[in-house]
Structure 1
Amino acid sequence: MNKVRFAIVGTGSITPTHAQAISAIPDAELVAIFGRSAAKAQELATQFNCDWYNDYQEMLKRTDIDVVSICTPNGLHADLGIQAALAGKHVVIEKPIDVTLEKADTLIKTCQKQGVELSIVFQRRYSDGVIALKNLLEQGKLGKVIFGGCYIKLYRSQEYYDSAAWRGTWDIDGGGVLMNQGIHYIDMLQYLAGSVAEVTGHCGTFGHTGIEVEDTASAAVTFQSGALGVIEGTTCAYPGLVSRVDIYGTEGCAVIENDVLTSVQLKSGYEYKVGSSTENAGVSSPDISFECHQRQFQEITTALKNNTEPPISGVEGRKALEVILAIYKSAFTGDSVLLPLADSLFLKDLAKTGGFKRK
């Protein structure tokens, strides 16, 4: 395999980021883009010098496509990924893997049965700050982790939710601030602090109308290690504030703000502090840097060329989804929820009751 050849599914705001990331890798090539809108697909194909399709099955017939990267709304991920796997293509999915455990597990099993690889995009793991903190934790510099928290303080206008019929719906968006935006930080938290054992969650819809899902959420967390934690998220924090991950250990503490490792203070005497950028913090913007995506796509490309499993497999990428669903279940039932979850069938009842709307 000289070059790993990619096709992208979807023409939304994240598609150019995937296209730029793939195009920047010497041993990768973008060969096609599929979109339901022929005009958008053609426009992107012209921009990135590749072919375009508005017939998905026709594109999947091509023998010169090795990997299909799914960039559609959340609730379509598994279905489109399964079709790609059945066509013998490796599958990359922009977070989340999907919006239910059942659909995620079907995708994982299909890829395994077809002998193709599955990787979920959580590009924030590839930021310099997360890499540095992960190394410190693996070296034991912070001691035993006793607390981990993530705080997602974003602003999304009413116009954002009104911009597409699927936004803010259970079926397609799969949730609100936790599922759509906060999942990056929830993945980061469990990646750094360890697997989650139990959550007690609260969710509400306070600052937006016409949406089925939460725009504000909080959860108390217990990790499998026994450490405690907190997850907070909102899309009502005008005008958008700094999002943060805190890790406290027996030998010191570390803070990540907007993916930048801003503070490490250890009992050994080591101290590191740097300011984080607050420019456009927490604001929805199509101008997303593709650098971290490129790093993950490079690892995916290298793994496929070497016939090894790519980073952040389907099983690994499923973990953040399960944490979020556990928070939803806790908020819905009023009880603490233990992980692993047996299923996510409660979502049907949650949707029927009108979600988390508060007076």
Structure 2
Amino acid sequence: MTDDGKLGVGVVGIGWVSHQHIGTLVTNPHTEVVGLCSGSLANAQNAKEEHGLSNAHCYDDYEQMLKQDNLDVIFICSTNEKHVDQAVAGAEAGNHLLIEKPASLTWEGLKSIAAAVDKAGVVACEGFELHWSPYFLIVHKLIKANAFGNIFYGECDYFSANWPQWYVGYPWVKTREQGGSALAAAGCHAVDALLQFMPGEVDHVVGHWGNFTKTFDWEGTVLSVISYKDGRIGKVGCILEGNNPYTFNVRLHGDRGTLVGNKFHSETLIGERMTEQTDWATFETIMPDTPEVSHHPFQPQTDHIIDCILNNKKPEVDIHDALKIDEVIFAAERSAGLGGEPVKLPLE
């Protein structure tokens, strides 16, 4: 804790997304940024000046930041391959964690984070900020109102072009060592969305992939078909090498209604089948229609996590939720690597 009773937060990895997180921590009344760590000390010092963080210490050595007395929480925003070691070390030092997605590039790495978090008894979340997207919140309300009935089929897609402008971290994220894969780099948001809107036990996953433009070290196109134990079906498409504007598709089909983007048809809301309705009903809201992080709902994510830490509540997308989401991702990639052979869950 800081001298005035706030949670002391350290941020490791100073780049595109970390500046959004720092802004939310400055705004939150219960937090103060006390540490900034980057491979470049100048980057940390520039962030300190840009955000007016007069009490923040700057580091180019993560282990040194972990020794800071008033450190309570760490936001891990470094390149993907560093997340596991930094998360495990942070938890072992007794810190709560927000780990930017992907928390790990391997199933084994993710399990090691979970083990360290459970042993330390700290809060740890994976950074799936779209849980607080206004569009996602409306879809959840429609589902809760039974607008679609039993949702038996769902599609969530992450489609983006292969331009360097897609992502400020493009030079490193396109590598297998640091970026990992299409699902790790971006498509994980679509997997998370599907499992939000269609929760339940997954039986097996089938994946197919290809590297058609050779833009990335990894396969830029991935199709995942998720089969639930109760027979429901989900599909996630992820294309990062297409020639198209950014598109985040959501389609849900139920026995009482259907959602396509911000259009829906439902017989539930007025209590009878709407035979007179000739077109979709629509709702206007802020859509998840850009990869630009300044558009993403980081503030409510931070506020939620800090509230859960202070009040000993289970947060959304804690490390055990992350295990369920990422298990589907790793199963899809394992299946694709086996030529589309189904991979059963749970993973070994």
Question: Which bin holds the TM-score, normalised by the shorter protein?
Answer: 0.7 to 0.9
For 1:264 and 1:163, locate their aligned partners in 2 and report how far apart those are by CA, in whole Å.
Answer: 36
Match of 1:78 in 2: 84
C-alpha separation between the residues in 1 aligned to 2:242 and 2:284? 21
Structure 1 residue 192: Cα displacement: 0.9
The within-5 A match list for 1:113-124 is 113-124=119-130
- Pick one of 329, 337, 341 that aligns with 2:343: 337
TM-aligned CA deviation for residue 142 of structure 1:
1.4
After superposition, residues 316-335 of structure 1 pair within 5 angstroms as 316-334=321-339, 335=341
Provide the residue aligned with 1:208 in structure 2. 214
CA contact (8 A) 2:25 2:32 kept: yes
Structure 1 residues 130-149: aligned runs within 5 Å:
130-149=136-155
3-state DSSP of counterpart to 2:155? strand
Aligned-partner SS, 1:76: helix
1:150 aligned to 2:153?
Answer: no
What is aligned with 2:103? 97
| CA-to-aligned-CA distance 1:278-312 (integer Å, 9 cap, x gap) | 9x955x54x5235x211111111111111233321
Following TM superposition, by how much is the alpha carbon of 1:8 offset from its aligned partner in structure 2, in angstroms? 0.5
Q: Tell me the amino acid that sits aligned with residue 236 of structure 1.
A: E
The structural deviation recorded for 1:221 is: 2.2
Q: Which amino acid aligns with 2:281?
A: Y
Alignment partner of 2:282 out of 273, 279, 283: 273
Say whether the 8 Å CA contact 1:194–1:224 is kept in structure 2. no
Counterpart residue identity of residue 132, structure 1 = I
Count of residues in Structure 1 that have an aligned counterpart in Structure 2:
331
Structure 1: which amino acid aligns with 2:294? I
State the partner residue of 1:31: 34
Q: CA RMSD in A?
A: 2.3
Once residues 214 and 23 of structure 2 are traced to their aligned partners in structure 1, the CA distance between those partners, rounded to angstroms, is: 33
CA contact (8 A) 2:207 2:224 kept: yes
Match of 2:274 in 1: none
**% identity of equivalent residues:** 26
Which residue matches 2:230? 225
Out of 60, 64, 71, which is 1:65 matched to?
Answer: 71
Q: Aligned partners of 1:267 and 1:276: how far apart in 2?
A: 22
Aligned to 2:195: 190
Q: Secondary structure at the match of 1:172?
A: coil
Q: What are the superposed Cα offsets for residues 17-65 of structure 1, whole Å, 9 maximum, x if unpaired?
A: 1111211212222222110111111111111223221121221111211
The equivalent residue for 2:59 is 53
- Structure 2 segments unaligned to the other structure (5+ residues): 271-279
Deviations 1:192-232 (A, max 9, x none): 112432222110111234x3211111122212332112211
Quick check: 1:96–1:317 contact (8 Å CA) kept in 2? no
Q: Partner residue of 1:348?
A: none
The 1:54/1:241 distance shift into structure 2, 3 A limit, reads closer
The 3 A distance-change label for structure 1 pair 309 and 161 is closer
Q: Secondary structure at the match of 2:302?
A: helix
Cα shift at 1:186: 0.9
Amino acid at match of 1:187: D
CA drift of 1:269 comes to 5.7
Distance 1:281 1:130 in 2: 12
2-side partners of 1:242 and 1:186: how far apart?
15
**Which residue type is aligned with residue 116 of structure 1?**
V
Q: Please list every run of 5 or more consecutive structure 1 residues that lacks an aligned counterpart in the other structure.
A: 257-261, 343-359
Is residue 300 of structure 2 the alignment partner of residue 295 of structure 1?
A: yes
Q: 1:215, 1:201 → 2: CA distance?
A: 13
- Aligned residue for 2:294, secondary structure, equals coil
Contact 1:99 1:321 in 2 (8 A): no
1:158-213 per-position Cα deviation (integer Å, ceiling 9, x unaligned): 6869966642333322212x22111111101111112432222110111234x321
Give how far 1:151 is off. 1.7
Instruction: Give per-residue Cα distances to partners, 1:62-97, cap 9 Å, x unaligned.
Output: 121110010011121110011111211111101112
- SS of 1:62's equivalent in the other structure is coil
